[in-house]
Amino acid sequence: MTEKIVAVTGGAQGIGRGIAYAFAEAGYAVSIADTVRDAGDEALTHIQKLGGRALYDHVDVSRPDDVQRWIARTVDELGCPSVLVNNAGINANAPFLDLKVEDFDHVQAVNVRGTFLCSQAVAREMIKRHQGGAIVNIASTRAFMSEADTEAYSASKGAIVALTHGMAISLGGTGIRVNSISPGWIETSDWQFSGRAKAPHHSDADKSQHPVGRVGVPDDIARACLFLADDAGFVTGQNIIIDGGMSVKMIYV
C-alpha cells in the first residue's frame, strides 16, 4: 500500500497530538506544525518509535512565511500531503466590554488566517500533482452557541465553518474535499507535553451533562478525521458536531 501523508497544525499537544498519533497508527507519514518545540519533539519521537515517518516544524500558522516553509519542507522530506488537518487554535476569553482589539485580531489570525494559509498552500501542491485530497478544519460547537465573554473565539469558529463550505465549492472538481468538525468538550490536560500534563478529573455533573455520559477525548475527534480523510468520498462542505450530544440537549431552568 502506498504511504499516505497527513499535515496536522497544532499537532504537538491536545487534540492535534491525538490526531497525529491516530494517523500514524493508520500508516500515514505525519508532518506536525506547532509553536511548542518540546512537545513537538516529544510527539515526533513517539511516532518514530511506532515505526512511522514524521517531522516537526516550528510554525506559527498565522505567519505566511512559516506556513510556506513548512509545506515546502513537508513535500520535500515526506511527500505531498493527501490530508491536511487545520487544528491549531487559541482563545482570548475576556469580558466583552474589555476585550482588546489586538486580542480579538490575534485569535482571528491564528484560527482563521492560519486555516486559510495552510489550506491554500496544501491545495496548491495537491492541484499541481492532480492528486486530490482532504482538508479537515477543526471548528467548535461554539460556532453555533456561546457562553458569555467568548466572542473572539466563537467568531473565529463561525468563520472556519464558513471558510469550509467556501473552500469546498471553490475546490470542487479538483478532487479536494473540505469539511469541518465541531468538537464539544474534549479533555486534553493529559495530552500535553509530559512535563506539563495533568490527570483529568471530571465530576458527576461534568459527565452527566453529556447525553453519552462522559467528556470527550482526542481520539473521538481523530476517528472522525480519519473517516473524513479515507472513507467519505461523497462528503464535502459539511460540518460534523462531535460533542456527546450536549448541543441538542434541551435545558429548562
- What amino acid positions are annotated as catalytic residues? 153
Q: Which amino acid is at 219?
A: D
Output 168 or 225, the one with its CB closest to ligand NAD. 225
Distance CA 135, CA 236 (A): 9
Q: How far is the CB of 36 from ligand NAD (least distance, A)?
A: 4
Cα–Cα distance measured from residue 165 to residue 190, given in angstroms and rounded to the nearest whole number = 33
Site residues, ligand NAD (CB under 6 A): 9-10, 12-16, 33-36, 39, 59-62, 87-90, 110, 138, 140, 183, 185-186, 188
Other CB atoms within 10 A of residue 231 CB: 8
DSSP SS3 for 14: helix
Q: How far is the CB of 37 from ligand NAD (least distance, A)?
A: 10
Tell the burial category of 77 from Cβ atoms under 10 Å away from its Cβ (0-12, 13-18, 19+).
Answer: middle
**Could you count the other beta carbons within 10 Å of the beta carbon of residue 1?**
4
Residue 90 or 99 having the CB closest to ligand NAD: 90
| Closer residue to ligand NAD (CB): 145 or 172 | 145
The smaller minimum CB distance to ligand NAD, of residues 106 and 127, is found at 106
Look-up of cell digits 515517518 = 53
Question: Cell 496536522 sits at which residue?
Answer: 8
Q: Which is nearer to ligand NAD, 149 or 175 (CB)?
A: 149
Size of the chain, expressed as the number of residues it contains? 253
* Per-residue cell: 56: 516537526
Contact status, residue 34 vs residue 54, Cβ threshold 8 Å:
no
Helix (H, G, I), strand (E, B) or coil at 91: coil
In angstroms, how far is CA 15 from the centroid of its own chain?
7
d(CA 19, CA 9): 10
Q: Residue 8 CB, nearest distance to ligand NAD (Å)?
A: 10
